[in-house]
């Protein structure tokens, strides 16, 4: 599943081609993508005629802000919230082009192009909501702070009494938003912490070190355009580059880049976790 760096890369790449464009039409080849409004007609009616004001991200959600419709007095702005899930991908293409085989949603624009959302496994979702309705959406409202908004004090308060293993806590999106399996493993190695350590057993100093590691790893991953393991591509069709900087993720059995001891993998919170048994305690 694309994590924070991948969605941030996508948002930054799409923004120049979308901002300022007017939505002129919506095609929904697969209505399963619609999380609300649930019908093609209602979804299109809510979006058409609006100008795209900005493209951003919250946690692993891509957020496209649409302004009020000028022909409707007192109309409210809305947000198109898209969740890529496992295999969601975006690109901008001429509206006249035949959509790709796995296209689920096409947002036609006034410049003759369209934003195309493709999703081979059909888990991704698209939701239109006012800003207030988005804020009240249970999933959205439950999200924890972004990594850069999380203070050491808030991180300490969130973890100091948790009996769950630290990786389970970090993957919990209500604790800190946007961190998934890849960047958790890389952050634990950078902080020299075993992923199966109970969160409450870490000292405050080690928890501060972990937060700093998460922020640094995420920053580096965004600079590299995210990580491509299987399906992820930028809107330009380019693979991310951070997979070439992995220290431990997916490298069980290989030597630790620091001490040379073989990396091992275990299951934590149902996810494979790779670490160095010597460097990470």
Return d(Cα 19, Cα 153) in angstroms, integer: 37
Which is catalytic among the residues 192, 200, 208, 271? 271
Which is catalytic among the residues 2, 5, 147, 235? 2
Which is catalytic among the residues 58, 60, 89, 104? 60
271 is catalytic: yes
CB atoms within 10 A of CB 227: 25
Q: Is the backbone peptide bond immediately before 37 cis, with ω within 30 degrees of 0?
A: yes
Which is catalytic among the residues 3, 6, 8, 146? 3
Angle between helices 181-191 and 204-223 (to 10 degrees): 130
Task: Write the DSSP assignment of 124-142 as a string of letters.
Answer: -EEEEE-HHHHHHSHHHHH
85 is catalytic: no
12 is catalytic: no
Q: Which two tokens stand for residue 59?
A: 């946690």
CA dist 154 → 3, 96, 139, 157 (Å): 22, 50, 20, 5
94 is catalytic: no
Which amino acids are annotated catalytic?
Answer: 2-3, 60, 271
């Amino acid at each position: 599943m694309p994590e924070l760096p991948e969605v941030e890369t996508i948002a930054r790449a799409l923004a120049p081609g979308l901002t300022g464009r007017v939505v002129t039409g919506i095609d929904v080849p697969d209505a399963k993508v619609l999380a609300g409004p649930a019908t093609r007609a209602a979804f299109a009616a809510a979006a058409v005629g609006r100008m795209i004001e900005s493209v951003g991200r919250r946690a692993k959600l891509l957020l496209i802000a649409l302004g009020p419709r000028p022909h409707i007095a007192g109309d409210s702005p809305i947000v198109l919230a898209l969740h890529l899930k496992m295999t969601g991908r975006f690109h901008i293409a001429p509206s006249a082009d035949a959509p790709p085989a796995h296209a689920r949603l096409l947002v036609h624009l006034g410049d003759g192009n369209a934003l195309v959302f493709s999703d081979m496994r059909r888990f991704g979702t698209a939701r239109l909501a006012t800003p207030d309705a988005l804020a009240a959406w249970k999933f959205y409202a439950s999200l924890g702070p972004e990594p850069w908004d999380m203070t050491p004090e808030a991180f300490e308060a969130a973890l100091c009494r948790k009996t769950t293993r630290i990786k389970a806590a970090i993957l919990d999106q209500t604790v800190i938003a946007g961190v998934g399996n890849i960047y958790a493993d890389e952050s634990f190695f950078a902080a020299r912490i075993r992923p199966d350590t109970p969160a409450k057993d870490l000292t405050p100093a080690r928890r501060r070190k972990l937060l700093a590691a998460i922020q640094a790893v995420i920053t580096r991953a965004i600079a590299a355009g995210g990580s491509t393991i299987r399906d992820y591509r930028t809107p330009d069709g380019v693979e991310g580059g951070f997979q070439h900087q992995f220290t431990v993720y997916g490298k069980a059995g290989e030597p630790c880049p620091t001490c040379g001891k073989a990396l091992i993998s275990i299951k934590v919170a149902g996810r494979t976790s790779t670490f160095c048994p010597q460097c990470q305690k």
